[in-house]
Amino acid sequence: MHARKIRQYAIIGIPVALLFVFLVYPVLSVLVRGLLVGPGSSFLEVWTSSVTHRVFGFTIVQAVVSTIATVLLGLPGGIILAKLDFRGKELIQAAMLIPFVLPPIVVVVGFLRMFGQGGFIDSILMTILSADTSALDLASGFTGIVLAHVFYNIPLVALIVSASLQRLSPEIEESADILGAGPLQKFRRIILPHILKSIVAASLLTFLFCFMSFPIVLALGQGRYATIEVRIWNAFRLADYGEASALALIQLIITIILAYWYITIGRSDTHATGQTRAVKTVQFQNLRRVFQFLAALYTVIVSILIIGPIVAVVGSSFYSPITDEFTLQGFVNLVQLGTGKGLRPFINSLFYAILSTFFAVLIAIPLAYRQRFNHSRIATVTSAITLLPLGISSITLAYGLMRAIAVPLGLSTNPWPLIVIAQTIIGLPFTVRAIEIAVKDIDRSLLEQADLLGASRLERLFFIELPLIAPGILVGATFSFAMAIGEMSATLFIALPQNTTLAVAIYQYLAVRKFVEAGAAALILTLCCSLAFLSIERLSDKAAGGAL
């Protein structure tokens, strides 16, 4: 029994120790540096700076505006998906998942070519108005940042609200119908109170994502706008480590508070979990004309916002706005080696993503078994450490790795292992979650029968448990790969020119106006991530691990 306990501690202790070394320790080093008192590095000095106030103010404002706009556009979508039956509903539901597939830098390319100056919509307006100059630019500055955040988070709000409505008892609505309640009365007295906590939870999650946004603000802000994330990155580039650490500390405190608030609301929302009911739906043709018009108008607007940038990415990979001609130069660039070419970044992306996926799965499997650990306190601590990457920004993580790992180990001149570590940690919570759900679904009676037949612990693991959780492992691995290959924030912070990935290369192409090269690279990333998530959809039919 004593030897068995030692094995249990070792199995769970190794991944926890790795997370402590490569996640907790680097982040703590940043926090300690942020609290140190010294010239230009004092936490209070940074906090009271007018520049910090301006950056902090913009970070809050853009997150609040993005959240409000997202909820206003996402709430009707959630109600339509849950309560309305119409032709093409499955297609709309599939389209709503598109933003989850795309890396942020791909969204930037799509927005610039769809809504930006000289983009698709701007070109149409210039033709209609016979104008020689740009008529519309919605993809840069504050407007572009907010629209891109709305693009990313509309599905989040819509799906959370829709899931909550699917747990609304149809008997309550039928009683309201019998009492003569109209659509607006039912919405105000029944639907809105039922989904209110889900709306608050979705709003908090949206605010958190917008607050921690980096690639979108960096690329669309055009140097005029900076969030705390962007400011940390700039401070590190300028070797102002005191400011970078202090800002990282401020951001971490806020994100932990928001994450705790979100978890608290999620636990208190009785409608967020539970059994899905047979929802009372309405046929589109049975709606009043005014509601039909509003539903159709909403669908068109959201479809343009969500599908438009994807179409623009495809178009931008073949069309150069600089030369005003169609070309394959972007794809030719992807198969060439050399400075500014795309083959090395593509190879780096695949290499780092494959390695990080491998390590994420190795670490995730023992962590997924943590709930079977007899010591509840150890299981709780392990769960907290596993979820920690969700509350820490990629920039803070990358900064911590550079300070705590790269310098002592002499990796500053070629820090590619840190890129793999960062990508592994960023995707780890999703990998663990996918495998954990598969582990929970194992029929315990099968394991008991194996014990009765004299199977050893290793035989039971390799011949029974691993085959049963294999679909969950594949789902987790696919999630990790998709997130790693499109990851830009931590990679941009860490990478030297020889470590450039495809996501970082896209940002660099945009900076020097190589739009067709950026478009081709963005299309390749889109295809990689789309194939990964299609695989998840297929695998989720075989394992509950796909239901994240």
Q: 3-state SS string over 246-293? A: HHHHHHHHHHHHHHHHHHHHHHHCCCCCCCCCCCCCEEHHHCCHHHHH
Measured CA to CA, the distance from residue 428 to residue 356 in angstroms comes to: 9
Query: Quick one: pLDDT at residue 543?
Result: 47
The per-residue pLDDT for range 354-364, each reduced to its tens digit, is 999 999 999 99
Query: Quick one: pLDDT at residue 134?
Result: 75
Measured between its terminal Cα atoms, the distance across the chain in Å is 36
Answering whether pTM is above 0.85, one says no
Cα 524 to the center of its chain, rounded Å: 19
Q: How large a percentage of the chain has pLDDT more than 70? A: 82
Greater pLDDT, 97 or 306:
306
Which pLDDT band holds residue 246 (cuts at 50, 70, 90)? confident
Measured CA to CA, the distance from residue 74 to residue 202 in angstroms comes to: 10
What CATH number should be reported for the domain whose range is 40-316? Answer: 1.10.3720.10
Exposed, middle or buried, 492 (CB in 10 Å: 0-12/13-18/19+)?
buried
Query: Quick one: pLDDT at residue 548?
Result: 44
The per-residue pLDDT for range 284-335, each reduced to its tens digit, is 777 778 878 888 888 888 888 888 898 999 999 998 888 878 889 889 988 8
Query: Quick one: pLDDT at residue 368?
Result: 83
Cα 393 to the center of its chain, rounded Å: 11
Name the nearest CA neighbour of 422 among 464, 458, 392: 392
Measured CA to CA, the distance from residue 438 to residue 368 in angstroms comes to: 9
Domain-by-domain residue ranges, the chain? 40-316
Residue by residue, DSSP assigns 71-122 as HHHHHHHHHHHHHEE-TTHHHHHHHHTHHHHS-HHHHHHHHHHHHSTTSHHH
Query: Quick one: pLDDT at residue 439?
Result: 80
Query: Quick one: pLDDT at residue 530?
Result: 82
Which pLDDT band holds residue 349 (cuts at 50, 70, 90)? very high
The per-residue pLDDT for range 492-528, each reduced to its tens digit, is 989 998 999 999 999 999 988 888 999 999 999 999 8
- In the predicted model, what is the mean pLDDT of residues 264-286? 60
Structure tokens at 475: 């789902």
545, pLDDT greater than 50? no
Query: Quick one: pLDDT at residue 60?
Result: 94
- In the predicted model, what is the mean pLDDT of residues 413-433? 91
Q: 3-state SS string over 470-508? A: HHHHHHHHHHHHHHHHCCCHHHHHHCCHHHCCHHHHHHH
239, pLDDT greater than 60? yes
Assess contact for 68 and 487: CB atoms under 8 A: no
Assess contact for 433 and 390: CB atoms under 8 A: no
- In the predicted model, what is the mean pLDDT of residues 7-20? 80
Among left, alpha and beta (phi > 0; psi -120 to 50; other), residue 445 is: alpha
Query: Quick one: pLDDT at residue 519?
Result: 92
271, pLDDT greater than 60? no
Name the nearest CA neighbour of 402 among 241, 246, 219, 229: 241
The per-residue pLDDT for range 47-78, each reduced to its tens digit, is 778 888 899 999 999 999 999 999 999 988 88
